[in-house]
Amino acid sequence: MKKLFALLSFSCFLFACHPQKDQNNFADLIKGDWVGPDESKENSHNETKFISFDDSTCRISFGGGALKYEIEKDTFYIESPDGDPISNMAKYTIAKLTTDSLVLLPTMSWQDTFHFSKIHPKNIITPTTIYFTSPNISFEIDSSRNVRIYGELEMDTLGVMYISKGGFSGRISENEYNSIISKIRNIQVDSLQQGYEAEWSNDQTLGVAFAHGNTATMSAAYGHHKEPIELHLLFGKLMNVYKEMNKQPDSSVTEINPIGSNLIQMTHRVPVPPPPLPPLCPNKKFTPPAHK
């Protein structure tokens, strides 16, 4: 009887631990960057779907900033991009999650099914310095995770949003720094172009440069269209770095000096607008109808 009781107790222990083990495995496996199948190129504004996971937040192609998410057993909950409270999270079933593939099934009729493939590292770069520049801010991050920022920063004090202009300094967390490094390592550096340009106007240019070894890699993109998805994911991460750190005003930071002047030139260049459309009937003047 004692042996039977011990066997039953051990079996119950195994069953009790199994869901928690699956949940932990899912939480670890899901971290990183995932990309969906290429969208149709008939519409040049189509974007490849992606989802990028950190410890407790993720970023999606059709959302804005970081969104909270949770995993319970085989169910994935994600915060609504339009700001609904976390209690109203969208819910998906994790049908498949491996080191290479993620499939999310809808739980509501209006939701889509998502198929993603994992983006794997393509280099082993460890930068000594990372530079980022945009129309509003520029900053640099050293290998000790120290950050120097200059520009117009969106600040939030007790729920009040405002713009603060000037120099700032601070330090990002180790997890945040490692997330940036992993995105740099996902980029195919040997085929990265120095500039990418969308086919429309009224957009912004983002640029990144990182020093490694005796060389430096830099690239910029006007709009999101032709640059590699891995570069786009890195831009999305860097744009929000200052929001994820404790920072203080620093009068010694008056400007950020990227590697060379090319990065600044690329990120402040505005594409030449297309020529105006020709008239519908260039050789025929419009004659209004005669009144009867």
Q: What is the pTM of this model?
A: 0.76
Per-residue confidence (pLDDT) for residue 108, from 0 to 100: 84
- Burial track 49-64 (b if 16+ CB lie within 10 A, e otherwise): bbbbbbeebbbbbeee
Rounded Cα–Cα distance for residues 61 and 63 (Å): 6
Supply the CATH number for residue 80's domain: 2.40.128
Does residue 76 share a domain with residue 178? Answer: no
Rounded Cα–Cα distance for residues 62 and 39 (Å): 13
Does residue 91 share a domain with residue 150? Answer: no
Does residue 152 share a domain with residue 58? Answer: no
Separation of CA 163 from chain center: 23
Judge whether 24 lies within some domain. no
162-166, 203-207, 237-241, 273-277: least confident range: 273-277
DSSP letter for 216, please: E
Average pLDDT, the chain: 78
Does residue 212 share a domain with residue 184? Answer: yes
The CA-atom distances, in angstroms, between 146 and each of 101, 142, 209, 241 are: 35, 6, 16, 12
Which domain range does residue 209 map to? 129-267
Rounded Cα–Cα distance for residues 217 and 259 (Å): 9
Sheet (strand 129-133) strand order: 195-197, 215-222, 205-212, 129-133, 137-142, 146-157, 160-171, 246-249
Judge whether 12 lies within some domain. no
Q: Domain boundary at 61, 84, 118, which?
A: 118
Does residue 172 share a domain with residue 114? Answer: no
Does residue 107 share a domain with residue 151? Answer: no
Does residue 140 share a domain with residue 208? Answer: yes
pLDDT tens column, 122-156: 999 999 999 999 888 999 999 999 999 999 888 77
Number of domains observed in the structure of the chain = 2
Helices (H) and strands (E) in the chain, counts: 4, 16
Judge whether 288 lies within some domain. no
Q: In the predicted model, is pLDDT for residue 265 greater than 60?
A: no
Return the SS3 of 243.
helix
Does residue 195 share a domain with residue 167? Answer: yes
DSSP letter for 189, please: G
Judge whether 10 lies within some domain. no
Bridge partners (DSSP) of residue 205 are 222
Judge whether 49 lies within some domain. yes
pLDDT tens column, 190-208: 999 988 988 888 888 899 9
Does residue 141 share a domain with residue 102? Answer: no
Does residue 158 share a domain with residue 218? Answer: yes
Helix axes 174-185, 229-239, angle to 10 degrees: 160
> 250, 165 in Cβ contact below 8 A?
no
